[in-house]
Amino acid sequence: MERREKLYEGKAKIIYATDDPGKTILYFKDDATAFNGAKKGTILDKGVINNKVSARLFKLLAENGIESHFIEQLSEREMLARRVEIFPVEVVVRNRIAGSLAKRMGREEGPELPMTIVEYYYKDDDLNDPMINRDHVLAFNLATAEQIDEVRETALKVNEVLKNYMFERDVLLVDFKLEFGDCGGRILLADEICPDTCRLWDRQTLEKLDKDRFRRELGGVEEAYLEICRRVCGEI
């Protein structure tokens, strides 16, 4: 597969065209950002770990009947993926009180929610990705009713698969962000699933093993990412 021109560069990845118009190459960077780019830094080998973890989890989801853009891992930092038109809606699935949910509701972090919460955010860095609801999605033509309902249903299926997989590896899946896109009329899970996009806590100690260590300057960021890679993928 020949890598061609750069199509897009985001905070964590670069997307390249290929000699097949229906496929792209995702290159995972070590750049780290938080608070919509207000905090910037570098996490050593983050791109390598996120690529490996994402590839493993996309394969796991495929084994459970959930389609994604993932085709194969090409190298330590590169993934071959189907080309999709990303919906401008981020989907956040929450199993425990943490992060912005704790702040909005004035609650302490940690308790398990009595039900899984699914939230939507409008993808726009200039607006700080505001939280929206299903009516906003429809009124602003961000997706059709059928599309957003399928996205929600798929997100909940993803949650069940990942939550059980992580629990078996002594990890709590606290919450996570997903992106979806249209691929020739099919809705596919896209982007990445990794310590950048998930809150992952050790099941015994509740130690944070994710990007919150970077956001909150807790230290041990690289070690946390490596530990998640070890648990999710086996030996590094």
Q: What is the pLDDT of residue 34?
A: 81
Q: Do 92 and 205 fall within a single domain?
A: yes
In angstroms, the CA 210 to CA 229 distance is 11
Q: What is the pLDDT of residue 210?
A: 97
Q: 120 lies in which domain range?
A: 85-219
Q: Tell the residue number behind the tokens 């956001």, with chain if given.
A: 215
Q: Do 93 and 75 fall within a single domain?
A: no
What's the mean pLDDT when you consider all of the chain?
96
Sequence-distant (6+) residues with CB within 8 A of 218 are 208, 212
pLDDT at residue 235 greater than cutoff 80: no
- DSSP character string of 188-225: EEES--STTTEEEEETTT--B-STHHHHTT-S-HHHHH
The residue from 82, 102, 130 where one domain ends is 82
Asked whether residue 15 is domain-assigned, the answer is: yes
Q: Do 34 and 121 fall within a single domain?
A: no
Determine if the pTM surpasses 0.85: yes
Q: Do 103 and 180 fall within a single domain?
A: yes
E strand or H helix at 69: none
The percentage of the chain sitting over the pLDDT mark of 70, rounded to a whole number, equals 98
> For the domain that residue 152 is a member of, what is the CATH number?
3.30.470.20
In angstroms, the CA 154 to CA 162 distance is 12
Q: Do 108 and 173 fall within a single domain?
A: yes
Q: What is the mean pLDDT of residues 90-112?
A: 98
In angstroms, the CA 132 to CA 139 distance is 11
The tens digit of pLDDT for each residue in 45-55 reads 999 999 999 99
Nearest to 151 by CA among 129, 125, 182, 174: 182
pLDDT at residue 145 greater than cutoff 70: yes
In angstroms, the CA 211 to CA 175 distance is 12
Q: What is the pLDDT of residue 45?
A: 95
Q: What is the mean pLDDT of residues 94-101?
A: 98
Q: Do 162 and 94 fall within a single domain?
A: yes
Q: Do 19 and 70 fall within a single domain?
A: yes
pLDDT at residue 21 greater than cutoff 80: yes
Q: Do 153 and 105 fall within a single domain?
A: yes
> For the domain that residue 9 is a member of, what is the CATH number?
3.30.200.20
Asked whether residue 25 is domain-assigned, the answer is: yes
Asked whether residue 95 is domain-assigned, the answer is: yes
Q: What is the pLDDT of residue 197?
A: 97
The tens digit of pLDDT for each residue in 179-222 reads 999 999 999 999 999 999 999 999 999 999 999 999 999 999 99
H-type alpha helices, the chain:
46-63, 99-105, 134-139, 145-167, 212-215, 221-233
Q: Do 61 and 133 fall within a single domain?
A: no
Q: What is the pLDDT of residue 152?
A: 98
pLDDT at residue 236 greater than cutoff 60: no
Q: What is the pLDDT of residue 37?
A: 65
Nearest to 60 by CA among 163, 198, 150, 156: 163
